[in-house]
Amino acid sequence: MAILLWGIPEGEDFTWDLTYKFKSDECVIESSGSITAFQKYFNPTRELKFQLGATSHDALERMAAFLFAGATIVTTPLWFFRTPLLINVNSGSSELLVGDASEFYAGEQALLMNASMPSICELITIDSVAGSTLYFSTPVVYDYSPMTMPSSGSPYDYSSAFIMPVMSGILEYEGLEFMSGLPGLGMKAKIDGGVWNAFTDPTALDGYTFLGLAMEAKYNSPKIVRDLCGAENGIISMYAHGGTSKLTFECNWQFKDSSWKTLRDAFFVAKGKSVPFYISTNMYELVTTRGSDAGSNTIYLNPGYQYLWERYPYILIQSSRTAVQSVVYITAHVYRDEFACESLPYELYDGDRGCFFVLGRFDSDELTFSFKGLNMCYAKAIFIEEYS
């Protein structure tokens, strides 16, 4: 039995958490009298938790259906993944062109939904994906049009629609509560979405593309609050880990668009905590004490950095005049605030800010994104320094 939770009415309290997990097992290989153990990582699985507070007239019927589901297969729309159609899809069509096909792949299902009349929707099974075109064997029943903005004296096209993937999996638990005031209802559910194969590994993993986003970084205690670009606060400290002093930090992001996928893809190629990569602390712990010409092999930084440069030879420098950022590799300490480095990509000025570019890894094999409503996403990740 498949249950489709569709058409979350506007204004209702609907939040959901999507967690990607890598399953890892220790595999043992015995060959020529020796035994080798290593971690084997499988394709990531998805886990969906959602909570819905509903007041619409059909809320009871739609939500109570889950109480009879038990451990059945459930499908639910992933609203944050919705993407518009690029061309008209007429009744009888078996292919369509979408704006973003990265979340769709063969064998999965997708939901076509009329934007103004959610009751007009169709669940399709994707046979193949070629570029931005989705192909499916069962023709659609209704007509769908790309989303259009109303012009003066002209209403929306009432056949305007979008498409989104759905998650199929095992409903692990479900609950329905009557809240104060009828027909106020509350519902919680957890769905095991199974293995997810849609992602593709990025060609490079330098950690910079996503950690350059605005974030709030917390580095345990003591709480030394520093300004992060005038918007966020960071807390930094060191602590003993595995007999050595390692840097750990918790980062929080707030996404208002699809840029959160960059963080997700980085997690995939790193297989959670298995692959180390360079990441920026974004704390801007360093400041240039004088300028340097473009192409120069000399940079001037806080004198105290002489005790840290061998541990943190990579620093992320941001120009105070152009806001351009670049990673600089420090090769030696020369004298006081003078350091040797690889050729500078652009001219630096007195007072340009820099931060440590640490070799680290994810501290967990799971990553959770929390979606609030239709256009807001929050993510949190914990990283630990790779240092020996």
Q: Domain extents for the chain?
A: 2-195, 199-388
Q: Is the pLDDT of residue 36 over 60?
A: yes
pLDDT interval class at 308 (50, 70, 90): confident
Lowest-confidence segment of 111-115, 149-153, 270-274, 352-356 by average pLDDT: 149-153
User: Who has greater pLDDT, 107 or 204?
Assistant: 107
HSE-CB for 299 with a 13 A CA cutoff: 34
* Mean pLDDT estimate for the chain: 74
Length of the chain measured in residues: 388
pLDDT higher than 90, residue 52: no
User: Could you tell me if 370 and 379 are in contact, meaning their C-beta atoms sit under 8 angstroms apart?
Assistant: yes
232 half-sphere exposure, CB direction, 13 A CA radius: 18
Question: Whole-angstrom Cα distance, residue 317 to residue 284?
Answer: 8
Question: In this prediction, what percent of the chain has a pLDDT beyond 70?
Answer: 62
| Top-confidence residue, 174 or 22 | 22
Distance from chain centroid for Cα 364: 15
pLDDT band of residue 333 (cuts 50, 70, 90) is very high
Between CA 328 and CA 208 the distance in angstroms is 13
Task: Compare 44 and 8 and report the one with higher pLDDT.
Answer: 44
> Under a CB-based contact definition with an 8 Å cutoff, are residues 315 and 357 in contact?
yes
The pLDDT of residue 176 is above 50 = yes
* pLDDT > 60? residue 32: yes
CA gap 168, 125 in Å, rounded: 12
Lowest mean pLDDT among 26-40, 80-94, 217-231, 359-373: 217-231
Grade residue 159 by pLDDT with cuts at 50, 70 and 90: confident
Render pLDDT for 90-112 as a digit per residue (tens, 0 to 9). Answer: 999 999 999 888 778 888 888 88
Residue 361's pLDDT is 86
pLDDT at 1: 46
pLDDT tens figures, 245-257? 667 777 778 887 7
Residues 248-290: tens digit of each pLDDT: 777 778 887 777 887 887 888 888 787 888 888 777 889 999 9
- Percentage with pLDDT > 90 across the chain: 19
Dist CA 303 CA 9 (whole Å): 59
Contact indicator for 178, 184 with CB cutoff of 8 Å = yes
Q: Which residue has the higher pLDDT, 288 or 58?
A: 288
Residues 6+ apart with CB under 8 A from 144: 85, 88, 89, 96, 112, 114, 159, 160, 161
